[in-house]
């Protein structure tokens, strides 16, 4: 931002300098013309230049008129808060035409005004494609005016012809002033361009460093999330271990001791043995209820509040909305009514499959298909992501595998390109799950 302000300030210095340069040329031409006329040197001067000069004040009127209109447009353009593209483009085209008008009204003595307009337009079109075109046009105008590449159709008197009227020392002085003014304008333009492109390079470096910092922060965030996931897993396992220890340990210890005592009393006091066995049976039932409550606490809230079919649809719709990923869900398995542990496993596998497709594969399309073949439920999840060169079993895949193994299921996964029946980009996960009768499971 400071570089842009500095460039804008330099442009206004250049405008002031060019005002002085135009004034200098105007004064020299007017004074020289009047002196030639007053000294009756006009005939010799006209025979030398072989052309009729402009009226003394024409160069002043036309050049300063164009200059002040140019200055007005520049002020208006730089003071617009939110200019429209077409308005600012037309304004810049007007500045270019006025620049040509100033150069032409001065008989092409001086074309450095094109450098001022160029610096001003670059300042406005700081990061646009139009800037390159404007630079080419204005540089061409400067070169044509400075080096007279294109021959002109009308006769004109060069500035050096006016200087030839004076003595050698006066010519050197006037030429020296002209060189200083023109060279100063050129150096100021070069300075502004160096500052501009240096600031752009520094900005690119800052953006590059910022991107590297963000990339490093993202890497650390991923590591933190993985560590948090591992800690959560360990904490959950420890909690589950405590639940099992406190519930099953206590219950099984009582059952073992009660059974041993009942066996010892079976022959001596059968009635007391039966009472102890009844107490053991009651304790076993209580322990089983405690275990069921602990397992129930691990179920997703969606399965607690809805049936499996609705829970899956809600989860897929919500994930599709939050990630903007297109998800095709095909349910070809009939009525989804299974035991609680089977429903938990099915829900978690689909949840983890979608997460992995987006997080690791950068997919924007996921196809989920449920099919049932007799008592085997098949979950097929495919995405169009990047796949992976080497499949590494992380927590998600390992967790799916463990859940399925507990239910005598199986899991296969890999790149879709490696699947002879697919050969598409992306990753696939296929889970096979033997399902039981829900009523029999609940009664058992």
User: Sign of torsion, CA 340 341 345 351?
Assistant: positive
- The pLDDT, as a whole number, for residue 232 is 75
Q: Are residues 219 and 161 in the same domain?
A: no
82 vs 105, residue with greater confidence: 105
Q: Are residues 93 and 232 in the same domain?
A: no
Q: Which tens digits make up the pLDDT trace of 219-276?
A: 888 888 877 777 877 776 666 666 665 556 556 656 776 777 777 777 777 787 777 7
Domain that holds residue 114: 2-165
Contact, 57 vs 30, CB < 8 A? yes
What average pLDDT does range 89-97 have in this prediction?
A: 81
Residue 39 has pLDDT above 70, yes or no: yes
Q: Are residues 61 and 30 in the same domain?
A: yes
Question: Is residue 196, in this structure, part of any structural domain at all?
Answer: no
- The pLDDT, as a whole number, for residue 441 is 46
Q: Are residues 35 and 135 in the same domain?
A: yes
Task: Indicate the pLDDT class of residue 1, thresholds 50, 70 and 90.
Answer: very low
d(CA 389, CA 136): 48
Hey, which of 141-155, 221-235, 367-381 has the most confident mean pLDDT? 367-381
Q: Could you give the residue ranges of the DSSP H alpha helices within 106-167?
A: 113-124, 130-147, 159-163
The residues with which 411 forms a beta bridge, in sequence order, are 431
Q: Which tens digits make up the pLDDT trace of 400-411?
A: 888 888 888 999
Question: Is residue 195, in this structure, part of any structural domain at all?
Answer: no
Q: Are residues 291 and 359 in the same domain?
A: no
Residue 350 has pLDDT above 80, yes or no: yes
Residue 412 has pLDDT above 80, yes or no: yes
- The pLDDT, as a whole number, for residue 248 is 64
Question: Is residue 267, in this structure, part of any structural domain at all?
Answer: yes
Q: Are residues 86 and 49 in the same domain?
A: yes
Q: Is 83 exposed, middle or buried (0-12, 13-18, 19+ CB in 10 A)?
A: middle
Structure tokens at 8: 């804008």
What average pLDDT does range 160-168 have in this prediction?
A: 80
Question: Is residue 182, in this structure, part of any structural domain at all?
Answer: no
Q: Are residues 314 and 382 in the same domain?
A: yes
Secondary structure of residue 65 in the 3-state scheme: helix
Question: Is residue 218, in this structure, part of any structural domain at all?
Answer: yes
Residue 113 has pLDDT above 80, yes or no: yes
* Residue % of the chain over a pLDDT of 90: 6
Q: Are residues 19 and 150 in the same domain?
A: yes
What average pLDDT does range 16-28 have in this prediction?
A: 89
- The pLDDT, as a whole number, for residue 146 is 61
Q: Is 197 exposed, middle or buried (0-12, 13-18, 19+ CB in 10 A)?
A: exposed
Question: Is residue 177, in this structure, part of any structural domain at all?
Answer: no
Q: Are residues 285 and 337 in the same domain?
A: no
Last residue of a domain, one of 165, 200, 227: 165
Last residue of a domain, one of 165, 189, 205: 165
For residue 100, the number of C-alpha atoms closer than 13 Å in the C-beta half-sphere is: 11
The residues, ordered by sequence, that sit 6+ positions from 324 with a Cβ below 8 Å of its Cβ are: 364
Last residue of a domain, one of 129, 145, 165: 165
Dihedral-angle region of residue 368 (phi above 0 means left; psi in -120 to 50 means alpha; beta otherwise):
beta
Task: Indicate the pLDDT class of residue 298, thresholds 50, 70 and 90.
Answer: low
CATH number where 279 lies:
1.20.5.1930
Q: Are residues 133 and 240 in the same domain?
A: no
Question: Is residue 425, in this structure, part of any structural domain at all?
Answer: yes
- The pLDDT, as a whole number, for residue 382 is 92
Q: Are residues 231 and 156 in the same domain?
A: no
Question: Is residue 203, in this structure, part of any structural domain at all?
Answer: no
- The pLDDT, as a whole number, for residue 156 is 65
Q: Are residues 156 and 254 in the same domain?
A: no
d(CA 422, CA 416): 6
Total count of domains within the chain: 3
Model pTM above 0.85: no
Cα 292-297-298 angle, rounded to 5 deg: 100
201 vs 429, residue with greater confidence: 429
What average pLDDT does range 26-46 have in this prediction?
A: 76
CATH number where 336 lies:
3.30.565.10
């Amino acid at each position: 931002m400071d570089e842009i302000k500095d460039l804008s300030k330099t442009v206004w210095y250049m405008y002031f300098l060019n005002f002085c340069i135009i004034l200098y040329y105007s004064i020299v031409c007017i004074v020289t013309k009047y002196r030639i006329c007053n000294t009756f040197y006009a005939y010799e001067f006209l025979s030398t230049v072989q052309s009729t000069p402009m009226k003394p004040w024409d160069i002043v009127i036309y050049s300063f008129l164009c200059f002040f209109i140019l200055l007005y447009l520049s002020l208006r353009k730089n003071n617009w808060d939110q200019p429209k593209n077409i308005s600012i483009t037309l304004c810049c085209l007007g500045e270019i035409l006025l620049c040509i008008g100033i150069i032409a009204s001065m008989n092409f003595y001086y074309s450095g005004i094109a450098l001022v307009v160029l610096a001003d337009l670059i300042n406005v079109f700081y990061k646009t494609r139009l800037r390159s075109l404007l630079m080419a046009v204005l540089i061409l105008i400067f070169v044509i005016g400075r080096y007279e590449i294109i021959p002109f159709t009308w006769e004109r008197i060069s500035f050096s012809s006016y200087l030839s009227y004076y003595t050698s020392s006066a010519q050197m002085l006037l030429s020296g002033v002209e060189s200083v003014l023109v060279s100063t304008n050129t150096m100021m333009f070069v300075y502004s361009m160096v500052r501009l492109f240096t600031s752009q390079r520094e900005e690119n470096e800052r953006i590059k460093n910022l991107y590297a910092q963000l990339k490093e922060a993202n890497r650390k965030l991923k590591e933190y999330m993985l560590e948090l996931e591992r800690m959560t897993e360990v904490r959950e396992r420890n909690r589950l271990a405590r639940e099992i220890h406190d519930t099953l340990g206590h219950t099984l210890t009582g059952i073992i001791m009660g059974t041993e005592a009942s066996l010892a009393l079976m022959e001596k006091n059968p009635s007391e043995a039966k009472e102890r066995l009844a107490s053991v049976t009651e304790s076993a039932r209580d322990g089983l209820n405690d275990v069921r409550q602990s397992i129930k606490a691990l179920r997703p809230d969606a399965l607690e509040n809805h049936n499996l079919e609705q829970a899956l649809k809600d989860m897929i719709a919500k994930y599709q909305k939050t990630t903007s990923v297109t998800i095709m869900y095909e349910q070809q398995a009939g009525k989804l009514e299974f035991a609680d542990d089977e429903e938990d496993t099915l829900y978690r596998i689909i949840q983890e499959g979608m997460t992995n497709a987006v997080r690791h594969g950068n997919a924007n399309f996921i196809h989920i298909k449920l099919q049932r073949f007799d008592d085997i439920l098949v979950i097929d999840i495919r995405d169009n992501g990047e796949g992976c060169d080497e499949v590494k079993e992380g927590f998600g895949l390992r967790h799916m595998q463990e859940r399925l193994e507990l239910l005598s299921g199986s899991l296969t996964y890999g790149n879709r390109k490696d699947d002879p029946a697919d050969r598409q980009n992306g990753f696939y996960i296929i889970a096979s799950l033997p399902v039981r009768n829900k009523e029999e499971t609940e009664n058992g």
